Amino acid sequence: MNILSQHTTQTLEPTLTTWILVISGFLIYIPVIYGQILLLVRPQSQATKDFMIGKGENWRDRTHFRSSYGFAWADLIFFLPLLIAGSIGVILGQVWGYALWAAAAAIAVDSNIVLWFSEREYVYPIWGPLAYYTFFWGFFVYWGLVAIVYAVLRLAGVTF
């Protein structure tokens, strides 16, 4: 048997850490995905603005709206399918699941670091450091970094 077929048939049974990361990933992204679907279906509705930016708030400018709209499309086209497929693969203990999961986590880290810096001027003064570095952008960056490290370690044969 060659090395490729050995590697593709290997399974990595889910651990408690696997389940914690899968469940926490979905819990933190369910509201985001809901908001993005609202944004794509009814982009200028007050209900969408209330959910996405805050009760009674409006888009700061066209760039704010366009970047939010673009992130919504990008997440629904790339991130969400990778997160779902990767999570299914990870739960099934498949090597491909960890690869897809790491890709989803990399997208999460990349896009949320951008948002972490670009939204700071507007969100930080209203909510303060604790909310900003946890709920607003922090959890997404932290989950992504931990998921990447965990996926790489599992693919390297580490179990915990």
123 in any annotated domain: yes
With respect to residue 2, please indicate whether it lies within any of the assigned structural domains.
no
Question: Per the domain annotation, does 107 fall within a domain?
Answer: yes
Tell me if residue 84 falls in helix, strand or coil: helix
Per-residue pLDDT averaged across 137-148, rounded? 92
| pLDDT exceeds 60 at position 82 | yes
Q: For residue 38, give Cα distances in angstroms to 43, 57, 75.
A: 7, 16, 13
Confidence of residue 40 (pLDDT cuts 50, 70, 90): very high
Q: How far apart, in whole angstroms, are the C-alpha atoms of residue 102 and residue 83?
A: 9
Backbone angles phi, psi at 113, to 5 degrees: -70, -40
Higher pLDDT, 4 or 147: 147
Q: Please, are residues 46 and 64 in contact by the beta-carbon 8 Å criterion?
A: no
Find the domain containing 24 and state its range.
Answer: 15-155
- Look at residue 3 and tell me if it is in a domain: no
Specify if 10 maps to a domain. no
To the question of pTM greater than 0.75 for the whole model, the response is yes
138 pLDDT band (50/70/90 cuts)?
confident
Within-domain flag for 62:
yes
What's the number of domains the chain is made of?
1
